[in-house]
Structure 1
Amino acid sequence: MQDFLPVVAFIGAYVISRLVGYGEEAMYIATVALMVAIVAQIAWLKARSKPIEKRLWLTALVILVLGAITLIFHNPHFVQLKPTILNVVIAAVFLGSQWIGKGNLTKKMLHSAFHMPEHLWTRLNLAWVAFFLIEGAINAWVVFNFSHDFWVGFKFWGLIGLTLIFLIAQFVVLRRYLRSDDDSRASK
Protein backbone atom coordinates (compact mmCIF):
# COMPACT_ATOMS: atom_id res chain seq x y z
CA MET A 1 0.00 0.00 0.00
CA GLN A 2 2.82 2.40 0.82
CA ASP A 3 3.97 2.30 -2.82
CA PHE A 4 0.74 4.03 -3.83
CA LEU A 5 0.85 6.92 -1.35
CA PRO A 6 3.02 9.21 -3.52
CA VAL A 7 0.92 8.32 -6.59
CA VAL A 8 -2.29 9.08 -4.71
CA ALA A 9 -0.77 12.39 -3.52
CA PHE A 10 0.14 13.26 -7.12
CA ILE A 11 -3.25 12.35 -8.56
CA GLY A 12 -5.14 13.99 -5.69
CA ALA A 13 -3.17 17.22 -6.02
CA TYR A 14 -3.65 17.19 -9.79
CA VAL A 15 -7.41 16.60 -9.64
CA ILE A 16 -7.98 19.19 -6.90
CA SER A 17 -5.80 21.74 -8.72
CA ARG A 18 -7.75 21.22 -11.94
CA LEU A 19 -11.08 21.50 -10.12
CA VAL A 20 -10.17 24.83 -8.52
CA GLY A 21 -9.02 26.23 -11.85
CA TYR A 22 -5.24 25.98 -11.99
CA GLY A 23 -5.33 24.54 -15.52
CA GLU A 24 -1.93 23.47 -16.84
CA GLU A 25 -0.27 24.54 -13.59
CA ALA A 26 -1.92 21.52 -11.97
CA MET A 27 0.91 19.29 -13.24
CA TYR A 28 3.47 21.38 -11.33
CA ILE A 29 1.39 21.44 -8.15
CA ALA A 30 1.00 17.66 -8.42
CA THR A 31 4.75 17.29 -9.00
CA VAL A 32 5.49 19.18 -5.77
CA ALA A 33 2.93 16.98 -3.95
CA LEU A 34 4.64 13.87 -5.33
CA MET A 35 8.06 15.07 -4.20
CA VAL A 36 6.81 15.98 -0.72
CA ALA A 37 4.96 12.66 -0.41
CA ILE A 38 8.01 10.53 -1.25
CA VAL A 39 10.22 12.46 1.19
CA ALA A 40 7.52 12.21 3.88
CA GLN A 41 7.15 8.49 3.23
CA ILE A 42 10.87 7.86 3.68
CA ALA A 43 11.00 10.09 6.77
CA TRP A 44 8.01 8.21 8.25
CA LEU A 45 9.67 4.84 7.63
CA LYS A 46 12.95 6.06 9.14
CA ALA A 47 11.17 7.51 12.18
CA ARG A 48 9.49 4.17 12.76
CA SER A 49 12.84 2.33 12.25
CA LYS A 50 11.37 0.42 9.31
CA PRO A 51 13.67 -0.88 6.59
CA ILE A 52 13.63 1.13 3.37
CA GLU A 53 13.88 -1.03 0.26
CA LYS A 54 16.38 -0.21 -2.48
CA ARG A 55 13.46 0.09 -4.90
CA LEU A 56 11.97 2.89 -2.77
CA TRP A 57 15.31 4.72 -2.68
CA LEU A 58 15.54 4.42 -6.49
CA THR A 59 11.96 5.63 -6.90
CA ALA A 60 12.62 8.57 -4.57
CA LEU A 61 15.79 9.51 -6.45
CA VAL A 62 14.01 9.44 -9.81
CA ILE A 63 11.03 11.39 -8.45
CA LEU A 64 13.20 14.07 -6.88
CA VAL A 65 15.50 14.48 -9.88
CA LEU A 66 12.76 14.43 -12.53
CA GLY A 67 10.46 16.51 -10.34
CA ALA A 68 13.14 19.17 -9.92
CA ILE A 69 13.86 19.18 -13.66
CA THR A 70 10.11 19.44 -14.35
CA LEU A 71 9.82 22.46 -12.09
CA ILE A 72 13.03 24.16 -13.25
CA PHE A 73 12.30 23.82 -16.97
CA HIS A 74 8.52 24.11 -16.52
CA ASN A 75 8.04 20.97 -18.64
CA PRO A 76 5.81 18.20 -17.26
CA HIS A 77 7.19 15.57 -19.63
CA PHE A 78 10.08 14.91 -17.26
CA VAL A 79 7.87 13.82 -14.36
CA GLN A 80 5.49 12.06 -16.76
CA LEU A 81 8.36 9.91 -18.01
CA LYS A 82 9.22 8.71 -14.49
CA PRO A 83 7.31 5.42 -14.94
CA THR A 84 9.10 4.83 -18.24
CA ILE A 85 12.54 5.49 -16.74
CA LEU A 86 11.87 3.32 -13.69
CA ASN A 87 10.53 0.50 -15.88
CA VAL A 88 13.63 0.59 -18.10
CA VAL A 89 15.92 0.53 -15.05
CA ILE A 90 13.97 -2.35 -13.48
CA ALA A 91 14.00 -4.26 -16.79
CA ALA A 92 17.78 -3.82 -16.96
CA VAL A 93 18.16 -5.10 -13.39
CA PHE A 94 15.99 -8.15 -14.12
CA LEU A 95 17.89 -8.82 -17.34
CA GLY A 96 21.26 -8.41 -15.61
CA SER A 97 20.19 -10.80 -12.88
CA GLN A 98 20.26 -13.59 -15.48
CA TRP A 99 24.06 -13.49 -15.40
CA ILE A 100 25.01 -11.74 -12.16
CA GLY A 101 24.46 -13.31 -8.77
CA LYS A 102 22.84 -16.60 -7.83
CA GLY A 103 19.90 -16.91 -10.19
CA ASN A 104 17.55 -14.41 -11.70
CA LEU A 105 15.44 -12.00 -9.67
CA THR A 106 12.16 -13.63 -10.59
CA LYS A 107 13.36 -16.94 -9.20
CA LYS A 108 14.67 -15.25 -6.05
CA MET A 109 11.29 -13.59 -5.48
CA LEU A 110 9.02 -16.51 -6.38
CA HIS A 111 10.94 -19.75 -5.73
CA SER A 112 9.07 -20.35 -2.48
CA ALA A 113 5.74 -20.26 -4.34
CA PHE A 114 6.65 -22.11 -7.55
CA HIS A 115 8.63 -25.24 -8.35
CA MET A 116 9.75 -25.02 -11.98
CA PRO A 117 12.58 -26.20 -14.21
CA GLU A 118 15.42 -23.71 -14.65
CA HIS A 119 14.58 -22.90 -18.28
CA LEU A 120 11.10 -21.73 -17.18
CA TRP A 121 12.62 -19.42 -14.58
CA THR A 122 14.70 -17.89 -17.36
CA ARG A 123 11.63 -17.46 -19.58
CA LEU A 124 9.64 -15.97 -16.72
CA ASN A 125 12.42 -13.52 -15.92
CA LEU A 126 12.62 -12.49 -19.58
CA ALA A 127 8.83 -12.10 -19.63
CA TRP A 128 9.16 -9.62 -16.77
CA VAL A 129 11.89 -7.77 -18.68
CA ALA A 130 9.61 -7.57 -21.73
CA PHE A 131 6.66 -6.47 -19.59
CA PHE A 132 8.59 -3.62 -17.98
CA LEU A 133 9.90 -2.43 -21.35
CA ILE A 134 6.46 -2.60 -22.99
CA GLU A 135 4.78 -0.84 -20.08
CA GLY A 136 7.44 1.88 -20.17
CA ALA A 137 6.99 2.31 -23.92
CA ILE A 138 3.21 2.55 -23.57
CA ASN A 139 3.62 5.21 -20.88
CA ALA A 140 5.95 7.23 -23.14
CA TRP A 141 3.48 6.92 -26.02
CA VAL A 142 0.62 8.17 -23.82
CA VAL A 143 2.78 11.08 -22.54
CA PHE A 144 3.49 12.33 -26.06
CA ASN A 145 0.11 11.61 -27.65
CA PHE A 146 -2.56 12.47 -25.08
CA SER A 147 -3.58 15.26 -22.73
CA HIS A 148 -2.31 15.62 -19.17
CA ASP A 149 -5.77 14.67 -17.90
CA PHE A 150 -5.73 11.44 -19.89
CA TRP A 151 -2.17 10.62 -18.78
CA VAL A 152 -3.02 11.13 -15.09
CA GLY A 153 -5.89 8.64 -15.41
CA PHE A 154 -3.71 6.26 -17.38
CA LYS A 155 -0.91 6.51 -14.81
CA PHE A 156 -3.21 5.20 -12.13
CA TRP A 157 -5.74 2.96 -13.85
CA GLY A 158 -3.80 2.00 -16.97
CA LEU A 159 -0.47 1.09 -15.41
CA ILE A 160 -2.09 -0.72 -12.49
CA GLY A 161 -4.46 -2.48 -14.91
CA LEU A 162 -1.63 -3.61 -17.16
CA THR A 163 0.26 -4.97 -14.16
CA LEU A 164 -2.80 -6.84 -12.86
CA ILE A 165 -3.50 -8.35 -16.28
CA PHE A 166 0.13 -9.48 -16.55
CA LEU A 167 0.08 -10.99 -13.05
CA ILE A 168 -3.20 -12.84 -13.66
CA ALA A 169 -1.96 -14.19 -17.00
CA GLN A 170 1.27 -15.27 -15.33
CA PHE A 171 -0.63 -17.08 -12.58
CA VAL A 172 -2.87 -18.86 -15.09
CA VAL A 173 0.14 -20.09 -17.05
CA LEU A 174 2.18 -21.06 -13.98
CA ARG A 175 -0.52 -22.44 -11.66
CA ARG A 176 0.49 -26.05 -12.33
CA TYR A 177 3.91 -25.23 -10.85
CA LEU A 178 2.53 -23.92 -7.55
CA ARG A 179 4.19 -25.51 -4.56
CA SER A 180 2.02 -27.46 -2.17
CA ASP A 181 2.48 -27.08 1.59
CA ASP A 182 4.64 -30.24 1.56
CA ASP A 183 6.89 -28.75 -1.16
CA SER A 184 7.30 -25.54 0.85
CA ARG A 185 8.34 -27.39 4.00
CA ALA A 186 10.76 -29.61 2.03
CA SER A 187 12.47 -26.60 0.42
CA LYS A 188 13.24 -24.95 3.80
Structure 2
Amino acid sequence: MDETGPSRLNPVVKLALELGPLVLFFFGNAYGDRLGFAESQRIFAATGLFVVATAVALAVHFWLVRRLPVMPLVSGVVVLVFGGLTLLLQDELFIKLKPTIVNTMFGLILLAGLYWRKPILAVVLDSMLDLTEEGWRKLTLRWALFFFALAMLNEVVWRTQTTDFWVKFKVFGIMPLTVLFALAQTPLIIRHEAKREPAPASSP
Protein backbone atom coordinates (compact mmCIF):
# COMPACT_ATOMS: atom_id res chain seq x y z
CA MET A 1 0.00 0.00 0.00
CA ASP A 2 1.14 3.55 -0.69
CA GLU A 3 2.08 4.88 2.71
CA THR A 4 1.40 8.46 1.58
CA GLY A 5 -2.11 7.76 0.31
CA PRO A 6 -5.30 7.59 2.36
CA SER A 7 -6.09 4.22 3.89
CA ARG A 8 -9.84 4.64 3.39
CA LEU A 9 -12.05 6.26 0.81
CA ASN A 10 -14.28 9.15 1.69
CA PRO A 11 -17.73 7.58 2.31
CA VAL A 12 -19.36 9.78 -0.35
CA VAL A 13 -16.74 8.82 -2.94
CA LYS A 14 -17.05 5.15 -1.98
CA LEU A 15 -20.85 5.27 -2.38
CA ALA A 16 -20.52 7.00 -5.76
CA LEU A 17 -18.08 4.37 -7.01
CA GLU A 18 -20.37 1.55 -5.86
CA LEU A 19 -23.66 3.02 -7.10
CA GLY A 20 -22.41 4.75 -10.25
CA PRO A 21 -22.18 1.61 -12.41
CA LEU A 22 -25.61 0.43 -11.20
CA VAL A 23 -27.20 3.78 -12.04
CA LEU A 24 -25.68 3.71 -15.52
CA PHE A 25 -26.94 0.13 -15.92
CA PHE A 26 -30.48 1.27 -15.10
CA PHE A 27 -30.43 4.28 -17.43
CA GLY A 28 -28.82 2.28 -20.22
CA ASN A 29 -31.67 -0.22 -20.06
CA ALA A 30 -34.38 2.40 -19.61
CA TYR A 31 -33.23 4.78 -22.35
CA GLY A 32 -31.15 2.60 -24.65
CA ASP A 33 -33.62 3.28 -27.46
CA ARG A 34 -32.57 6.95 -27.42
CA LEU A 35 -29.03 5.77 -28.18
CA GLY A 36 -30.28 3.96 -31.26
CA PHE A 37 -30.70 0.48 -29.76
CA ALA A 38 -33.78 -1.61 -30.49
CA GLU A 39 -35.97 -2.45 -27.48
CA SER A 40 -34.69 -6.03 -27.44
CA GLN A 41 -31.10 -4.72 -27.40
CA ARG A 42 -31.42 -2.25 -24.51
CA ILE A 43 -30.17 -4.78 -21.95
CA PHE A 44 -26.97 -5.20 -23.97
CA ALA A 45 -26.42 -1.44 -24.12
CA ALA A 46 -26.94 -1.34 -20.35
CA THR A 47 -24.56 -4.25 -19.83
CA GLY A 48 -21.87 -2.55 -21.90
CA LEU A 49 -22.18 0.61 -19.79
CA PHE A 50 -22.15 -1.51 -16.62
CA VAL A 51 -18.96 -3.34 -17.60
CA VAL A 52 -17.08 -0.17 -18.58
CA ALA A 53 -18.29 1.77 -15.52
CA THR A 54 -17.34 -1.10 -13.20
CA ALA A 55 -13.82 -1.27 -14.65
CA VAL A 56 -13.44 2.51 -14.29
CA ALA A 57 -14.77 2.45 -10.71
CA LEU A 58 -12.30 -0.28 -9.72
CA ALA A 59 -9.44 1.60 -11.35
CA VAL A 60 -10.36 4.86 -9.60
CA HIS A 61 -10.71 3.05 -6.25
CA PHE A 62 -7.28 1.51 -6.64
CA TRP A 63 -5.75 4.81 -7.78
CA LEU A 64 -7.11 6.60 -4.71
CA VAL A 65 -6.11 4.10 -1.99
CA ARG A 66 -3.75 1.67 -3.77
CA ARG A 67 -5.83 -1.37 -2.85
CA LEU A 68 -9.19 -3.00 -3.56
CA PRO A 69 -11.47 -4.36 -0.80
CA VAL A 70 -12.62 -7.96 -1.13
CA MET A 71 -16.30 -7.43 -1.95
CA PRO A 72 -15.92 -4.80 -4.71
CA LEU A 73 -13.06 -6.79 -6.23
CA VAL A 74 -14.95 -10.10 -6.37
CA SER A 75 -18.14 -8.44 -7.58
CA GLY A 76 -16.24 -6.43 -10.17
CA VAL A 77 -14.46 -9.47 -11.59
CA VAL A 78 -17.77 -11.33 -11.92
CA VAL A 79 -19.33 -8.29 -13.64
CA LEU A 80 -16.48 -8.16 -16.13
CA VAL A 81 -16.61 -11.89 -16.85
CA PHE A 82 -20.38 -12.34 -17.05
CA GLY A 83 -21.00 -8.96 -18.61
CA GLY A 84 -18.40 -9.82 -21.23
CA LEU A 85 -20.11 -13.16 -21.90
CA THR A 86 -23.47 -11.38 -22.17
CA LEU A 87 -22.11 -9.06 -24.86
CA LEU A 88 -20.03 -11.69 -26.65
CA LEU A 89 -22.81 -14.26 -26.87
CA GLN A 90 -25.67 -11.75 -26.97
CA ASP A 91 -27.39 -13.66 -24.17
CA GLU A 92 -28.79 -11.71 -21.21
CA LEU A 93 -28.81 -14.86 -19.07
CA PHE A 94 -25.22 -14.29 -17.98
CA ILE A 95 -25.69 -10.80 -16.55
CA LYS A 96 -28.86 -11.98 -14.80
CA LEU A 97 -26.92 -14.80 -13.13
CA LYS A 98 -24.27 -12.41 -11.81
CA PRO A 99 -26.07 -11.49 -8.52
CA THR A 100 -26.85 -15.15 -7.88
CA ILE A 101 -23.22 -16.18 -8.33
CA VAL A 102 -21.70 -13.28 -6.36
CA ASN A 103 -24.04 -13.64 -3.39
CA THR A 104 -23.63 -17.42 -3.32
CA MET A 105 -19.84 -17.01 -3.38
CA PHE A 106 -19.94 -14.54 -0.49
CA GLY A 107 -22.19 -16.86 1.52
CA LEU A 108 -19.93 -19.86 0.95
CA ILE A 109 -16.79 -17.89 1.79
CA LEU A 110 -18.28 -16.69 5.07
CA LEU A 111 -19.42 -20.21 6.00
CA ALA A 112 -15.94 -21.52 5.19
CA GLY A 113 -14.54 -18.91 7.56
CA LEU A 114 -16.85 -20.15 10.30
CA TYR A 115 -15.67 -23.71 9.71
CA TRP A 116 -12.00 -22.71 9.89
CA ARG A 117 -12.67 -20.29 12.78
CA LYS A 118 -11.27 -17.35 10.82
CA PRO A 119 -12.98 -13.92 11.06
CA ILE A 120 -13.31 -13.48 7.29
CA LEU A 121 -16.11 -10.98 7.82
CA ALA A 122 -13.61 -8.69 9.54
CA VAL A 123 -11.65 -8.58 6.28
CA VAL A 124 -14.80 -8.13 4.19
CA LEU A 125 -15.91 -5.22 6.39
CA ASP A 126 -12.43 -3.72 6.16
CA SER A 127 -11.90 -3.98 9.96
CA MET A 128 -14.60 -1.41 10.72
CA LEU A 129 -15.87 -3.40 13.70
CA ASP A 130 -14.24 -4.78 16.83
CA LEU A 131 -16.34 -7.67 18.09
CA THR A 132 -15.94 -10.63 20.41
CA GLU A 133 -15.41 -14.07 18.90
CA GLU A 134 -19.05 -14.95 19.54
CA GLY A 135 -20.14 -11.69 17.96
CA TRP A 136 -18.15 -12.34 14.78
CA ARG A 137 -19.54 -15.88 14.61
CA LYS A 138 -23.17 -14.78 14.91
CA LEU A 139 -22.77 -11.82 12.55
CA THR A 140 -20.96 -13.95 9.98
CA LEU A 141 -23.69 -16.60 10.03
CA ARG A 142 -26.39 -13.96 9.60
CA TRP A 143 -24.63 -12.36 6.65
CA ALA A 144 -23.99 -15.74 5.02
CA LEU A 145 -27.69 -16.60 5.25
CA PHE A 146 -28.61 -13.15 3.95
CA PHE A 147 -26.37 -13.58 0.91
CA PHE A 148 -27.96 -16.95 0.18
CA ALA A 149 -31.41 -15.33 0.51
CA LEU A 150 -30.41 -12.61 -1.98
CA ALA A 151 -29.17 -15.26 -4.41
CA MET A 152 -32.45 -17.15 -4.22
CA LEU A 153 -34.46 -13.92 -4.53
CA ASN A 154 -32.54 -12.98 -7.67
CA GLU A 155 -33.30 -16.39 -9.17
CA VAL A 156 -37.01 -15.97 -8.47
CA VAL A 157 -37.14 -12.46 -9.92
CA TRP A 158 -35.27 -13.02 -13.17
CA ARG A 159 -37.06 -16.30 -13.86
CA THR A 160 -40.58 -14.95 -13.24
CA GLN A 161 -40.43 -11.26 -14.20
CA THR A 162 -39.57 -9.18 -17.25
CA THR A 163 -36.04 -7.96 -17.92
CA ASP A 164 -37.09 -4.37 -17.14
CA PHE A 165 -38.47 -5.42 -13.76
CA TRP A 166 -35.30 -7.40 -12.99
CA VAL A 167 -33.10 -4.38 -13.79
CA LYS A 168 -35.18 -2.21 -11.43
CA PHE A 169 -34.95 -4.89 -8.74
CA LYS A 170 -31.17 -5.13 -9.17
CA VAL A 171 -30.67 -1.36 -8.94
CA PHE A 172 -33.40 -0.30 -6.49
CA GLY A 173 -34.09 -3.53 -4.60
CA ILE A 174 -30.85 -5.26 -3.63
CA MET A 175 -29.08 -2.19 -2.22
CA PRO A 176 -31.96 -1.03 0.05
CA LEU A 177 -32.46 -4.60 1.29
CA THR A 178 -28.75 -4.83 2.11
CA VAL A 179 -28.76 -1.49 3.95
CA LEU A 180 -31.85 -2.45 5.97
CA PHE A 181 -30.32 -5.80 6.88
CA ALA A 182 -27.07 -4.14 7.95
CA LEU A 183 -28.95 -1.67 10.15
CA ALA A 184 -30.93 -4.53 11.69
CA GLN A 185 -27.64 -6.02 12.95
CA THR A 186 -26.90 -2.97 15.13
CA PRO A 187 -28.24 -4.53 18.37
CA LEU A 188 -26.07 -7.64 17.87
CA ILE A 189 -23.01 -5.48 17.13
CA ILE A 190 -23.54 -3.35 20.24
CA ARG A 191 -24.17 -6.43 22.39
CA HIS A 192 -20.97 -8.17 21.27
CA GLU A 193 -18.63 -5.21 20.92
CA ALA A 194 -15.20 -6.09 22.28
CA LYS A 195 -14.41 -4.36 25.54
CA ARG A 196 -11.10 -2.56 25.38
CA GLU A 197 -8.87 -2.55 28.41
CA PRO A 198 -8.48 0.96 29.83
CA ALA A 199 -5.04 2.49 29.23
CA PRO A 200 -2.83 2.46 32.34
CA ALA A 201 -2.55 5.85 34.01
CA SER A 202 0.82 7.49 33.46
CA SER A 203 2.88 8.10 36.56
CA PRO A 204 3.41 11.74 37.50
Query: TM above 0.5, one fold?
Result: yes
Out of 78, 89, 101, the position equivalent to 1:62 is: 78
- Of the candidates 4, 19, 26, which is equivalent to residue 4 of structure 1? 19
Partner secondary structure for residue 66 of structure 2 = coil
Cα gap change, 1:41 to 1:174, in 2 (>3 Å):
closer
- Which one of 177, 183, 188 corresponds to residue 162 of structure 1? 177
For 1:176, which of 170, 191, 195 is the aligned residue? 191
* 1: CA distance, partners of 2:126 / 2:71: 17
The one of 123, 129, 144 aligned to 2:159: 144
**Does residue 121 in structure 1 map to residue 98 in structure 2?**
no
The Cα of 1:39 is off from its aligned counterpart by: 1.7
Provide the identity percentage: 24
Q: Distance in 1 between matches of 2:191 and 2:51?
A: 43
Q: Which residue of the other structure, out of 45, 52, 75, is the alignment partner of 1:36? A: 52
Cα displacement (A) at 1:48: 4.5
Q: Which residue of 2 aligns with 1:96?
A: 112
**How far did 1:184 drift?**
4.9
When normalised by structure 1's length, the TM-score is 0.82
- Preserved contact between residue 82 and residue 95 of structure 2 (Cα < 8 Å): yes
Corresponding pairs, count: 182
Structure 2 residue runs without a partner (length 5+): 1-14, 200-204
Cα separation, 2, equivalents of 1:104 and 1:47:
28
Q: Which amino acid aligns with 1:51?
A: R
- In the superposition, the TM-score normalised over structure 2's length comes to 0.76
Which residues of structure 1 form unaligned runs of 5+?
Answer: none
Deviation at 1:16, TM superposition (A): 1.8
Cα pair distance change 1:150/1:185, threshold 3 Å: farther
Give CA-to-partner distance per residue, 1:97-129, whole Å, 9 cap, x none: 1233x632235649764544x344322211111
Tell whether the 8 Å contact from 1:94 to 1:129 is kept in structure 2 after alignment: yes
Let me know the Cα RMSD of the aligned residues. Answer: 2.7
